[in-house]
């Protein structure tokens, strides 16, 4: 089985290799693809030395699975070319997410809908993945009418440039800016571009992707904020349900949910934080409490490493699902 990682030298690309190693993901040949400036560089992985190649060469290799983490433009240009050769493309960008002919997959929620004909598969937005991992079992049991969500997003969602900006500001060094304002000791209510309706693309992704993956009838209102954190994204979520509930039942339901870890013991100061989510695949949920201001409503606090389950791990899980279904024959 031949695998290609497109964007191998980026933040997600590096985490993809970590996840492949940790999960013992099977492959016979691995092709690490980077931009022209990096072609020819050597990378040691799993005690083997790999030479970075260009995307054109990777295309000629006719790989079985190609995981794209190189931005929307690269995905729009190259994903169809790989798909034409029979490659399963798993795309981490937003390029194909809302394309009606492409499936948007969180394996624990809707991985069963994948078919052998799905050659371009979209990985959802990181904030959407962690939110829906918690919302899906609740919606199945009680029905969700409305979601009001505020995100507190790690700078790693922006990439290396943002990480460098924070490090520079922390040290008092002037340098290149990933954001229009300082991020150190700041919170910027601006993730992605603003749209005509006053929301950002990031905020609308939470709404649009929820409709595509879970239920188009759920009303979603989002505010996305960038904060000077490295470990992961945090989300404050308010849910309005169709029916009454018992908090203990909600907690029990989430405790049984694969991929979700309940961390909710305020008496002992146990609650999710990005400090503890960094490098982990689980989605953590806590601060679960009834919203006393509204009938059949509750509040949740959800945290996950946006580079892991929010990107790399979810992509590898999709690849594992493709193999599990027998769509790739060695």
Q: What is the pLDDT of residues 156-167, one digit of tens each?
A: 999 999 999 999
Model pLDDT, residue 330: 59
212-241 mean pLDDT: 97
Contacts (Cβ under 8 Å, ≥6 apart) of 265: 271, 286
Query: Are 232 and 120 a contacting pair, CB within 8 Å?
Result: no
Burial class (CB in 10 A: 0-12, 13-18, 19+), 274: buried
240-252 mean pLDDT: 97
Give yes or no for residue 4 having a pLDDT over 90: yes
223-231 mean pLDDT: 96
Task: Name the active-site residue from 24, 126, 190, 216.
Answer: 126
Residue-averaged pLDDT of the chain: 97
Give yes or no for residue 329 having a pLDDT over 80: no
| 139 belongs to the catalytic site | no
d(CA 174, CA 129): 35
| 233 belongs to the catalytic site | yes
Contacts (Cβ under 8 Å, ≥6 apart) of 272: 234, 263, 284, 285, 286, 287, 301, 302, 303
pLDDT digits (tens, 9 = 90+) for 279-307: 999 999 999 999 999 999 999 999 999 99
Burial class (CB in 10 A: 0-12, 13-18, 19+), 178: middle
Query: What is the C-alpha R_g of the chain?
Result: 20
Task: Please give the domain boundaries of the chain with CATH numbers for all domains.
Answer: 2-123+311-324 (3.40.50.720), 127-306 (3.30.360.10)
Task: Output phi, psi for 98, to 5 deg.
Answer: -100, 10
The pLDDT > 90 percentage for the chain reads 98
Confidence of residue 231 (pLDDT cuts 50, 70, 90): confident
Contacts (Cβ under 8 Å, ≥6 apart) of 196: none
Confidence of residue 246 (pLDDT cuts 50, 70, 90): very high
């Amino acid at each position: 089985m031949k695998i290609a990682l497109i964007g191998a030298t980026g933040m997600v690309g590096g985490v993809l290799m970590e996840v492949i190693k940790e999960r013992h993901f099977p492959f016979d040949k691995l092709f690490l693809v980077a931009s022209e400036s990096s072609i020819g560089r050597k990378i040691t992985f799993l005690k083997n030395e790999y030479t970075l190649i260009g995307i054109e060469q990777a295309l000629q290799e006719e790989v079985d699975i190609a995981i794209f983490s190189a931005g929307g433009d690269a995905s729009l240009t190259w994903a169809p070319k790989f798909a034409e050769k029979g490659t399963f493309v798993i795309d981490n960008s937003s390029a194909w997410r809302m394309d009606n002919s492409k499936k948007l997959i969180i394996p624990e929620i809707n991985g069963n809908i994948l078919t052998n004909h799905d050659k371009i598969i979209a990985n959802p937005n990181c904030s959407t993945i962690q939110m829906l991992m918690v919302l899906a079992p609740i919606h199945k049991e009680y029905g969700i009418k409305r979601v009001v969500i505020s995100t507190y997003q790690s700078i790693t969602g922006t990439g290396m440039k943002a990480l460098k900006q924070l490090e520079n500001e922390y040290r008092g060094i002037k340098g290149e800016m990933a954001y229009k304002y300082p991020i150190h000791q700041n919170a910027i209510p601006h993730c992605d571009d603003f749209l005509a309706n006053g929301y950002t693309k990031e905020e609308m992704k939470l709404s649009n992707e929820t409709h595509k993956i879970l239920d188009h009838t759920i009303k979603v209102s989002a505010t996305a904020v960038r904060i000077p954190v490295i470990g992961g994204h945090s989300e404050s979520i308010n849910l309005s349900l169709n029916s009454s509930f018992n908090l203990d039942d909600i907690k029990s339901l989430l405790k049984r949910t694969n991929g979700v870890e309940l961390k909710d013991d305020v008496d002992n100061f146990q609650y999710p934080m990005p400090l503890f989510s960094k490098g982990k695949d689980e989605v953590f949920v806590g601060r679960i409490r009834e919203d006393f201001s509204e009938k059949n409503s509750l509040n949740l606090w959800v945290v996950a490493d946006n580079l892991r389950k929010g990107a790399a791990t979810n992509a590898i899980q999709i690849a594992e699902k493709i193999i599990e279904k027998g769509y790739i024959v060695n």
